[in-house]
Amino acid sequence: MKIAVTGANGQLGQDVVKLLGAKHEVHGLGREQLDITNEIECLEVLKALKPDVIIHSAAYTAVDLAETEVDTAYRINADGTRNVAVAAEEIGAKLCYISTDYVFDGTTATAYKEDDSTNPQSVYGNSKRVGEQHVQALSSKYFIVRTSWVYGIHGANFVKTMLDLAATRDSLKVVSDQYGSPTYTVDLALFLEELIQTDFYGIYHASNSGVCSWYEFACAIFEESGVKINVDPCTTEEFPRPAPRPRNSAMEHGAIRANGLEDLRPWREGLKAFLKELEESR
């Protein structure tokens, strides 16, 4: 299977290229190889490659900065995704678009299902939702994969930030009233590999199984890595950010189960595997 990966230098993209490249012909396309905001370039590059599948993980992900860099966020997440979708349809490729829990407002008391109404509250969430709509309108063979709280060996993320802070402090405050599912890039990449080999098209919620708060996640990070530090819970209001976060971004994995695909392992197991990978990389 020939696979093109946009955003190949990103946190998820690098693991997708590495893990899927072991069994498939994978072409990693970073910003230098493909400017997704250039419609003509998108068509030319992807037509020349003729991949069977495009995993579109390129995105503007600076959630808080997006509140002021509105045009840039939409140009990449909405217009760029439209360009990729048009090119995918032109060459008959399957399109797998990586989306986000931020398409929801986080006000539900239960986990979000794939067909629940979206109601993004931030520029980032809105721009990603418009990207989803372009994919749905323009691609006849699409997977939209919404994920959450992503971390991996490449780039900055919550796990690395917590460990870095613990090296210089003896106590931390972490938000305890936002809930979601941490997702290890390796587990997500392996799920994507299984998914793109099917024709079970549609929307998927894919995160490591189980739900926790950021506070519980931080406590687990320190417990699993043997770090002694005082962690105190705090409210969202005590830690204001420019972009609103969904209070509850737990997502049901109904589509994964309905199609007989393998669900992602519990988030704490994913965390243990990541900490081991992090230790071995040092």
Q: What is the identity of the amino acid at 107?
A: T
CA neighbor of 186 nearest in space, from 209, 168, 208: 208
Distance CA(97)–CA(269), nearest Å, equals: 26
Quickly list DSSP for 186-200: HHHHHHHHHHHTS--
Counting beta carbons within 10 angstroms of the beta carbon of residue 69, is it exposed (0 to 12), middle (13 to 18) or buried (19 or more)? middle
Q: What is the identity of the amino acid at 88?
A: A
215 is an active site residue: no
Helix, strand, coil fractions of the chain, as percent rounded to 5: 45, 20, 40
Cβ atoms within 10 Å, residue 228:
7
DSSP state of 31: T
- Exactly one of 74, 124, 151, 179 is catalytic; which is it? 124
Contact (CB, 8 A) for 95 and 54: yes
Reading the block at residue 208, the tokens are: 């490591």
Distance CA(202)–CA(212), nearest Å, equals: 27
Q: Which residues are catalytic?
A: 124
